Amino acid sequence: MVTAIVLAAGVGSRMKSEKAKQFLEVAGHEVLYYSLRAFDEHPGVDSIVLVTKEEFVEHCQKELAERYQFAKVRDICIGGKERYDSVYQGLSAIGAEGENDIVLIHDGARPFVTAEMISASIACARECGACTVGVPAKDTIKIVDTDHYGVETPERKFVYQIQTPQTFQVPLLRRAYETMYEAKRNGDTHNITDDTMLVEQYAGVRCKVVEGAYENIKITTPEDLAIAEIFVEKTLKKI
Protein backbone atom coordinates (compact mmCIF):
# COMPACT_ATOMS: atom_id res chain seq x y z
CA MET A 1 0.00 0.00 0.00
CA VAL A 2 1.32 3.43 -0.97
CA THR A 3 -0.33 6.45 0.66
CA ALA A 4 0.25 10.14 0.03
CA ILE A 5 -0.31 12.46 2.98
CA VAL A 6 -0.93 15.95 1.60
CA LEU A 7 -0.60 18.76 4.13
CA ALA A 8 -2.95 21.71 3.67
CA ALA A 9 -3.40 23.11 7.16
CA GLY A 10 -1.37 26.30 6.80
CA VAL A 11 -2.72 29.84 6.69
CA GLY A 12 0.16 31.47 4.82
CA SER A 13 0.69 34.72 6.74
CA ARG A 14 3.45 35.79 4.35
CA MET A 15 0.99 35.69 1.47
CA LYS A 16 -0.90 38.64 3.03
CA SER A 17 -4.18 37.24 1.77
CA GLU A 18 -7.48 36.60 3.52
CA LYS A 19 -7.57 33.20 1.82
CA ALA A 20 -5.17 30.42 2.81
CA LYS A 21 -2.40 30.04 0.24
CA GLN A 22 -3.35 26.47 -0.72
CA PHE A 23 -6.74 27.75 -1.91
CA LEU A 24 -5.49 30.67 -3.98
CA GLU A 25 -5.86 30.21 -7.73
CA VAL A 26 -3.12 29.53 -10.25
CA ALA A 27 -4.27 29.38 -13.88
CA GLY A 28 -7.90 28.79 -12.89
CA HIS A 29 -7.34 26.12 -10.25
CA GLU A 30 -6.59 26.25 -6.55
CA VAL A 31 -2.95 25.58 -5.63
CA LEU A 32 -3.95 22.42 -3.75
CA TYR A 33 -5.72 21.01 -6.82
CA TYR A 34 -2.46 20.40 -8.67
CA SER A 35 -0.74 18.19 -6.10
CA LEU A 36 -3.95 16.25 -5.40
CA ARG A 37 -4.30 15.60 -9.13
CA ALA A 38 -0.68 14.45 -9.40
CA PHE A 39 -1.10 11.82 -6.67
CA ASP A 40 -4.60 10.82 -7.77
CA GLU A 41 -3.42 10.13 -11.33
CA HIS A 42 -0.24 8.30 -10.35
CA PRO A 43 -0.64 4.51 -10.79
CA GLY A 44 1.76 3.77 -7.94
CA VAL A 45 -0.26 5.67 -5.32
CA ASP A 46 -3.17 3.77 -3.76
CA SER A 47 -4.71 6.42 -1.52
CA ILE A 48 -4.48 10.03 -0.38
CA VAL A 49 -4.96 11.41 3.12
CA LEU A 50 -5.54 15.15 3.11
CA VAL A 51 -4.72 17.01 6.33
CA THR A 52 -6.25 20.46 6.79
CA LYS A 53 -7.88 22.79 9.30
CA GLU A 54 -11.33 21.98 10.63
CA GLU A 55 -12.85 25.00 8.86
CA PHE A 56 -11.43 23.83 5.52
CA VAL A 57 -12.69 20.22 5.61
CA GLU A 58 -16.01 20.87 3.85
CA HIS A 59 -14.35 22.97 1.16
CA CYS A 60 -11.74 20.29 0.50
CA GLN A 61 -14.39 17.60 0.30
CA LYS A 62 -16.84 19.41 -1.97
CA GLU A 63 -14.71 21.79 -4.03
CA LEU A 64 -11.74 19.50 -4.57
CA ALA A 65 -12.29 15.80 -3.87
CA GLU A 66 -15.86 15.65 -5.19
CA ARG A 67 -15.72 18.36 -7.83
CA TYR A 68 -12.72 16.83 -9.57
CA GLN A 69 -13.57 13.23 -8.68
CA PHE A 70 -10.28 12.54 -6.92
CA ALA A 71 -11.21 8.96 -6.08
CA LYS A 72 -8.02 8.27 -4.11
CA VAL A 73 -8.80 10.91 -1.45
CA ARG A 74 -9.91 8.39 1.18
CA ASP A 75 -9.72 10.61 4.26
CA ILE A 76 -9.69 14.30 5.14
CA CYS A 77 -8.49 14.81 8.68
CA ILE A 78 -7.80 17.78 10.93
CA GLY A 79 -4.21 18.86 11.49
CA GLY A 80 -2.43 19.66 14.72
CA LYS A 81 -0.61 22.60 16.25
CA GLU A 82 2.76 21.98 14.60
CA ARG A 83 3.61 20.59 11.18
CA TYR A 84 4.79 17.32 12.69
CA ASP A 85 1.50 17.03 14.60
CA SER A 86 -0.36 17.31 11.29
CA VAL A 87 1.79 14.64 9.70
CA TYR A 88 1.14 12.35 12.65
CA GLN A 89 -2.60 12.91 12.31
CA GLY A 90 -2.33 11.80 8.69
CA LEU A 91 -0.16 8.86 9.65
CA SER A 92 -2.71 7.79 12.25
CA ALA A 93 -5.45 7.91 9.61
CA ILE A 94 -3.62 5.28 7.57
CA GLY A 95 -4.28 2.71 10.26
CA ALA A 96 -2.38 -0.54 10.66
CA GLU A 97 0.47 -0.86 8.22
CA GLY A 98 2.30 -3.69 6.52
CA GLU A 99 6.08 -3.91 6.52
CA ASN A 100 6.20 -2.94 2.84
CA ASP A 101 3.84 0.02 3.03
CA ILE A 102 5.13 3.39 1.83
CA VAL A 103 4.01 6.91 2.73
CA LEU A 104 4.78 10.12 0.86
CA ILE A 105 4.52 13.37 2.84
CA HIS A 106 3.84 16.33 0.57
CA ASP A 107 3.22 20.02 1.15
CA GLY A 108 -0.04 21.01 -0.55
CA ALA A 109 1.48 24.42 -1.29
CA ARG A 110 3.88 22.74 -3.76
CA PRO A 111 1.67 22.37 -6.85
CA PHE A 112 4.31 21.14 -9.29
CA VAL A 113 5.22 17.70 -7.99
CA THR A 114 5.62 15.38 -10.99
CA ALA A 115 4.97 11.72 -11.70
CA GLU A 116 8.73 11.24 -12.08
CA MET A 117 9.39 12.58 -8.58
CA ILE A 118 6.68 10.38 -7.11
CA SER A 119 7.94 7.24 -8.86
CA ALA A 120 11.57 7.90 -7.91
CA SER A 121 10.60 8.59 -4.29
CA ILE A 122 8.60 5.37 -3.94
CA ALA A 123 11.41 3.28 -5.47
CA CYS A 124 14.06 4.89 -3.28
CA ALA A 125 12.05 4.50 -0.07
CA ARG A 126 11.51 0.82 -0.82
CA GLU A 127 15.27 0.38 -1.16
CA CYS A 128 16.64 2.78 1.45
CA GLY A 129 13.79 3.28 3.91
CA ALA A 130 13.75 7.08 3.75
CA CYS A 131 14.27 9.73 1.09
CA THR A 132 13.40 13.26 0.09
CA VAL A 133 13.18 15.22 -3.11
CA GLY A 134 15.75 17.99 -3.45
CA VAL A 135 17.75 20.11 -5.87
CA PRO A 136 21.36 21.36 -5.77
CA ALA A 137 21.68 24.83 -4.27
CA LYS A 138 22.39 27.44 -6.94
CA ASP A 139 23.90 29.96 -4.54
CA THR A 140 26.81 29.78 -2.15
CA ILE A 141 25.52 29.01 1.36
CA LYS A 142 26.98 30.68 4.42
CA ILE A 143 26.55 29.28 7.94
CA VAL A 144 26.42 32.14 10.46
CA ASP A 145 26.57 32.44 14.23
CA THR A 146 24.09 34.21 16.52
CA ASP A 147 25.71 37.57 15.68
CA HIS A 148 25.35 36.90 11.94
CA TYR A 149 29.06 36.47 11.35
CA GLY A 150 29.97 33.76 8.86
CA VAL A 151 31.50 30.68 10.46
CA GLU A 152 31.42 28.16 7.61
CA THR A 153 30.95 28.01 3.85
CA PRO A 154 30.06 24.43 2.85
CA GLU A 155 31.04 23.19 -0.59
CA ARG A 156 28.13 23.96 -2.86
CA LYS A 157 28.19 20.52 -4.51
CA PHE A 158 27.17 19.02 -1.17
CA VAL A 159 24.36 21.51 -0.47
CA TYR A 160 20.78 20.74 -1.55
CA GLN A 161 17.52 22.61 -1.18
CA ILE A 162 15.06 20.13 0.27
CA GLN A 163 11.56 19.87 -1.17
CA THR A 164 8.68 17.44 -0.84
CA PRO A 165 7.53 14.72 -1.16
CA GLN A 166 9.50 13.10 1.62
CA THR A 167 8.96 9.37 1.48
CA PHE A 168 9.34 6.57 4.02
CA GLN A 169 8.59 3.00 4.87
CA VAL A 170 5.56 3.43 7.12
CA PRO A 171 6.80 1.37 10.11
CA LEU A 172 10.03 3.41 10.16
CA LEU A 173 8.25 6.76 10.16
CA ARG A 174 5.71 5.65 12.77
CA ARG A 175 8.52 4.41 15.03
CA ALA A 176 10.37 7.73 14.67
CA TYR A 177 7.24 9.67 15.61
CA GLU A 178 6.54 7.55 18.66
CA THR A 179 10.13 8.01 19.82
CA MET A 180 9.94 11.77 19.23
CA TYR A 181 6.70 12.20 21.20
CA GLU A 182 8.12 10.16 24.06
CA ALA A 183 11.23 12.35 24.06
CA LYS A 184 9.09 15.51 24.11
CA ARG A 185 7.09 14.19 27.04
CA ASN A 186 10.44 13.87 28.82
CA GLY A 187 11.40 17.48 28.12
CA ASP A 188 13.05 17.36 24.68
CA THR A 189 12.70 20.79 23.02
CA HIS A 190 14.35 19.90 19.69
CA ASN A 191 12.71 21.87 16.87
CA ILE A 192 11.55 19.52 14.10
CA THR A 193 11.05 21.24 10.76
CA ASP A 194 10.58 18.28 8.44
CA ASP A 195 10.23 14.52 8.45
CA THR A 196 13.72 13.67 7.22
CA MET A 197 15.08 15.57 10.20
CA LEU A 198 12.74 13.62 12.48
CA VAL A 199 13.77 10.23 11.08
CA GLU A 200 17.47 11.11 11.27
CA GLN A 201 17.13 12.42 14.83
CA TYR A 202 14.82 9.82 16.36
CA ALA A 203 15.29 6.69 14.25
CA GLY A 204 18.96 7.08 13.39
CA VAL A 205 18.27 6.47 9.69
CA ARG A 206 19.91 8.50 6.95
CA CYS A 207 17.66 9.91 4.23
CA LYS A 208 18.71 9.79 0.60
CA VAL A 209 18.08 12.76 -1.69
CA VAL A 210 16.43 12.05 -5.04
CA GLU A 211 16.24 14.48 -7.91
CA GLY A 212 13.56 17.13 -7.72
CA ALA A 213 13.05 20.19 -9.93
CA TYR A 214 13.54 23.91 -9.52
CA GLU A 215 9.93 24.31 -10.67
CA ASN A 216 8.78 22.36 -7.59
CA ILE A 217 8.39 25.59 -5.66
CA LYS A 218 6.47 26.20 -2.47
CA ILE A 219 3.83 28.91 -2.80
CA THR A 220 4.65 31.28 0.06
CA THR A 221 4.55 34.88 -1.20
CA PRO A 222 2.60 36.81 -3.88
CA GLU A 223 5.68 36.62 -6.11
CA ASP A 224 5.48 32.82 -5.99
CA LEU A 225 1.97 32.95 -7.42
CA ALA A 226 3.21 34.96 -10.41
CA ILE A 227 6.03 32.46 -10.98
CA ALA A 228 3.56 29.57 -10.71
CA GLU A 229 1.39 31.11 -13.44
CA ILE A 230 4.43 31.15 -15.73
CA PHE A 231 5.20 27.50 -14.96
CA VAL A 232 1.64 26.42 -15.76
CA GLU A 233 1.65 28.40 -19.02
CA LYS A 234 4.95 26.82 -20.01
CA THR A 235 3.60 23.34 -19.28
CA LEU A 236 0.44 23.95 -21.32
CA LYS A 237 2.51 25.05 -24.29
CA LYS A 238 4.28 21.65 -24.27
CA ILE A 239 0.98 19.76 -24.52
CB 69 within 8 A of CB 33: no
pLDDT in tens, 68-118: 999 999 999 999 989 999 999 999 998 766 678 999 999 999 999 999 999
Which candidate, 200, 203, 124, 127, places its Cα nearest to that of 167? 124
The answer to the question of residue 171 being in a domain is yes
Written as tens digits, the pLDDT of the chain (239 aa) is 999 999 998 776 666 667 888 999 999 999 999 999 999 999 999 999 999 999 999 999 999 999 999 999 999 999 998 999 999 999 999 876 667 899 999 999 999 999 999 999 999 999 999 999 999 999 999 999 999 999 999 999 899 999 999 999 999 999 999 999 999 999 988 888 899 999 999 999 999 999 999 999 999 888 999 999 999 887 755 54
Domains in the chain, number: 1
Half-sphere exposure of 202 (CA within 13 A, CB side): 23
The answer to the question of residue 239 being in a domain is no
Sign of CA dihedral 31, 32, 38, 41: negative
The answer to the question of residue 224 being in a domain is yes
For residue 239, the model assigns a pLDDT of: 41
- 217: how many CB neighbours lie within 10 A of its CB? 16
CATH number of 185's domain = 3.90.550.10
The answer to the question of residue 237 being in a domain is no
The answer to the question of residue 168 being in a domain is yes
According to DSSP, residue 91 is labeled H
The answer to the question of residue 89 being in a domain is yes
Which candidate, 188, 186, 187, 194, places its Cα nearest to that of 167? 194
The answer to the question of residue 86 being in a domain is yes
For residue 189, the model assigns a pLDDT of: 83
Q: Identify the domain containing residue 165 by its residue range.
A: 2-232
Q: Kindly report the length of the chain.
A: 239
Residue 60, class by beta-carbon neighbours within 10 Å (0-12 exposed, 13-18 middle, 19+ buried)? buried
The answer to the question of residue 238 being in a domain is no
Coil, strand, or helix at residue 162? strand
